[in-house]
Amino acid sequence: MRAYRVGLTAAVVTAGLAAPATPVVAAEQVAAPPVSSSSTAVGHGGAVATVDATATAVGRDVLRRGGNAVDAAVAAAATLGVTEPFSAGIGGGGFFVYYDARSGRVHTIDGRESAPASTRQDTFVDPATGQPYPFGEARISGLSVGVPGTLLTWEAALRAWGTRSLAESLRPAIRVADKGFAVDATFRQQVRDNAAVFAQFAPTAQLFLPDGRAPEVGSTHRNPDLADTYRLISRRGVNAFYEGPIGADIAATVQRPPVTDTPTRPWPHPIRPGGLTTTDLARYELRFPAPTHSDYRGYDVYGMSTPSSGGTAVGEALNIMERFDLSRTPPAEALSVHLDASALAFADRNAYVGDGTHPRVLRELLSDQYAATRGEFEPGSALPKPTAPGNLAGPYGSGHPAVAATGGEEGKSTTNLTVADRWGNVVEYTLTIEQTGGNAMVVPGRGFLLNNELTDFSFVQQAGAPPDPNLPAPGKRPRSSMSPTIVLNDGKPFLAVGSPGGATIITTVLQILFNRIDRNMPLSEAVAAPRASQRNSNTPAAEPAFIADHESELVALGQPAFHSIAELGAATAIEFQDQRRLVAVAEPTRRGGGSAAVLRPAPDGPYGRLDDQTPAPPT
């Protein structure tokens, strides 16, 4: 039996015991939902923004049929498991942030993957050489697989705040997996980027490399195995996964990777087994940490606490930025302050934040007093990079050296979605299997990829450096950068935003908040604007348009030159305006463009009021 508590309430919910309330409808009986692909939608009655038009249409349909934001978010996420299988799915984990309109409170679910009991601090050190494995070797192995938390996250969110069963919520995704969807350029490119590793594993090659090649744009991709997996979960609940046949297959895949005898392409590394067991799966538990909180210019910013570093890093950077009146600062100097605040927050994040960081440390990092010690610089004179972490009170840390951000953290994997319903509930949800394509192993006969989340751990303790908070250990969760964020104004939602992008998630979310709040950009512009990512480096990353627009003036202020990266992040967001008007935004172009939808699009004229008497859904 699996029992857990939600937030600080006494609501105990039990997963995986009950049969689904609603039978699964045969796929053929239901038409595929209509698909829209606009990146901004304005209107009333509920909104959905995801990276994918099919998932957005599924979420909108759930809202239209009376479901709430949690119902729509889970149905959309399950659909992304079909249409965005390289970024998210039940083989991975994520962080779910929920604003509950009735109580006015923000809750979080930590469904991050946890390290199996067999994990050691030197799990990612090659015993033959004593050196850490190259990233690619660690990734494409059983060693990198953490116990997935995504399915239990869906179940817990629905039980706590939804109105629909897990079986109902999986139904649209089953339909998409059965009937198929049109492959787009992003899907094809993600397969091409992974073709060499996908070719190593028979079930992966079978699913994603038909005839040995990436599927053509416009061809129909079906995943009947995943449809069957979702159906099995619909019938038997999450225990089919955590304590049943799906879990047994996951453990077998990790322990005996399904390597093909006849790979069509060479792979330069040995493919090592891992130690994840069915007991690890049975023992997996969600956590429900209090959200991080910071006050930014009168807004209450709620984010994800550890094992994500997103909430503390975004919050600390905002606290530092708040020390400057950025709306009156010359634009280039304001941008420079924003980048320096980001560098300072990353220095602290790298030194102090990991799973198990003491709550006092997290509180200190998010305090205005601490921001005052970090924000002692002039807007017109950029900080040298890398900059050192700050000094914490008591035994927790001081005198740490400046260490630059390490590379390899600008991934384009992961996915994010934002949902609001007519009752005012909001979901901001980031989910991932880590790298695009995870560890490249499809569980045979089950139709989903496994994560490589444990490569988010530091592989080794750096010699001479203070203790690394992110070293592997049994049951520990690797530090994440996922930053699902909900901003309240006077207790009511103002903005919800999140993004994929590895460690650049933090800078993308921070930059969107800066663009919207300090630079007063409309949300669609705040999301579309060219991005930079300053993670305490003297070679920060930026998109070409950002470099063209800002590099010379920033360099004149002492900021380092940027290295160019095609794109950073793939955000989604919703803004909550007067008279319950919603502005839902996805990317216009990044990662092929996302999809935003509202239930009732606003007419050109004045916007109508929603009926304030609309009853809340049953919970």
Binding residues for L-glutamate: 112, 456, 480-481, 502
306 binds ligand GLU (CB under 6 A): no
- Answer yes or no: are the C-beta atoms of 114 and 147 closer than 8 Å: yes
Residue by residue, DSSP assigns 501-549 as: STTHHHHHHHHHHIIIIIS---HHHHHHS--EE-SS-SS-EE-HHHHHH
State which of positions 505-524 bind ligand GLU (CB under 6 A): 505
480 binds ligand GLU (CB under 6 A): yes
Residue by residue, DSSP assigns 149-171 as: -HHHHHHHHHHHH-SS-HHHHHH
Smallest gap from residue 442 Cβ to ligand GLU (A): 19
- Answer yes or no: are the C-beta atoms of 431 and 425 closer than 8 Å: no
Report the alpha-carbon distance of residue 515 to residue 112 in Å, rounded. 29
Beta-bridge partner residues of 98? 107, 427
| 410 or 551: CB nearest ligand GLU | 410
Report the alpha-carbon distance of residue 503 to residue 500 in Å, rounded. 9
Query: Which residues have a Cβ under 8 Å from the Cβ of 332 and sit 6 or more positions away?
Result: 550, 553, 554, 556, 557
Smallest gap from residue 274 Cβ to ligand GLU (A): 17
Given candidates 71, 155, 333, 456, which one binds ligand GLU under the rule CB under 6 A? 456
Smallest gap from residue 536 Cβ to ligand GLU (A): 16
By C-alpha distance, which of 372, 326, 322, 366 is closest to 348?
Answer: 366
Piece of the chain touching ligand GLU by CB under 6 A; list 150-158, 207-215, 494-502, 559-567: 494-502
| 2 or 479: CB nearest ligand GLU | 479
Outline where DSSP puts E strands in 67-151. Answer: 93-100, 105-111
By C-alpha distance, which of 591, 586, 517, 614 is closest to 59?
Answer: 586
User: Could you give the angle at the alpha carbon of 159 between the alpha carbons of 246 and 478, nearest 5°?
Assistant: 60
Tokens for 535? Answer: 């993670």
Beta-bridge partner residues of 129? none
Given candidates 51, 58, 482, 486, which one binds ligand GLU under the rule CB under 6 A? 482
Smallest gap from residue 480 Cβ to ligand GLU (A): 3
Piece of the chain touching ligand GLU by CB under 6 A; list 71-79, 244-252, 460-468, 501-509: 501-509
Measured over the CA atoms of residue 576, residue 577, residue 580 and residue 584, the dihedral's sign is negative
501 binds ligand GLU (CB under 6 A): yes
By C-alpha distance, which of 318, 395, 319, 396 is closest to 357?
Answer: 396
How far is residue 482 CA from its own chain's centroid?
A: 5
Smallest gap from residue 87 Cβ to ligand GLU (A): 8
Per-position x/- string for 393-412, each x denoting binding to ligand GLU as judged by CB under 6 A, each - no binding: ------------------x-
Report the alpha-carbon distance of residue 486 to residue 61 in Å, rounded. 23
How far is residue 144 CA from its own chain's centroid?
A: 18
State which of positions 22-41 bind ligand GLU (CB under 6 A): none
| 315 or 501: CB nearest ligand GLU | 501
Beta-bridge partner residues of 533? 541
Beta-bridge partner residues of 3? 14
Given candidates 165, 414, 515, 559, which one binds ligand GLU under the rule CB under 6 A? 414
| 20 or 93: CB nearest ligand GLU | 93
| 320 or 505: CB nearest ligand GLU | 505
434 binds ligand GLU (CB under 6 A): yes
Beta-bridge partner residues of 583? 42, 575
Count the Cβ atoms, other than its own, within 10 Å of residue 206.
14
- Answer yes or no: are the C-beta atoms of 71 and 427 closer than 8 Å: no
State which of positions 175-234 bind ligand GLU (CB under 6 A): none
Smallest gap from residue 507 Cβ to ligand GLU (A): 12
| 433 or 585: CB nearest ligand GLU | 433
- Concerning whether 414 is annotated as a catalytic residue, the answer is yes
Q: What is the DSSP letter of 115?
A: -
Omega prior to 386 cis, within 30 of 0: yes
| 112 or 175: CB nearest ligand GLU | 112
484 binds ligand GLU (CB under 6 A): no
Output the known binding site: 112, 456, 480-481, 502
| 305 or 413: CB nearest ligand GLU | 413
Smallest gap from residue 135 Cβ to ligand GLU (A): 12
State which of positions 55-84 bind ligand GLU (CB under 6 A): none
386 binds ligand GLU (CB under 6 A): no
- Answer yes or no: are the C-beta atoms of 505 and 310 closer than 8 Å: yes
Residue tagged active-site, from 50, 292, 414, 430: 414
| 161 or 284: CB nearest ligand GLU | 284
Q: What angle do the packed helices 69-83 and 53-64 form, to 10 degrees? A: 150
Given candidates 40, 119, 253, 432, which one binds ligand GLU under the rule CB under 6 A? 432
Query: Which residue carries 């010690």 as its tokens?
Result: 373
Given candidates 20, 142, 162, 502, which one binds ligand GLU under the rule CB under 6 A? 502
Report the alpha-carbon distance of residue 246 to residue 362 in Å, rounded. 37
Smallest gap from residue 83 Cβ to ligand GLU (A): 17
Element (H, E) at 78: helix 69-83
108 binds ligand GLU (CB under 6 A): no
Piece of the chain touching ligand GLU by CB under 6 A; list 277-285, 313-321, 479-487, 516-524: 479-487
- Answer yes or no: are the C-beta atoms of 450 and 433 closer than 8 Å: yes
Number of residues that bind ligand GLU (CB under 6 A): 14
Given candidates 33, 149, 258, 500, which one binds ligand GLU under the rule CB under 6 A? 500
Piece of the chain touching ligand GLU by CB under 6 A; list 160-168, 177-185, 496-504, 603-611: 496-504
Piece of the chain touching ligand GLU by CB under 6 A; list 241-249, 282-290, 476-484, 526-534: 476-484
| 481 or 559: CB nearest ligand GLU | 481
Cite the active site residues: 414
Residues that bind ligand GLU (CB under 6 A): 411, 413-414, 432, 434, 453, 456, 480-482, 500-502, 505
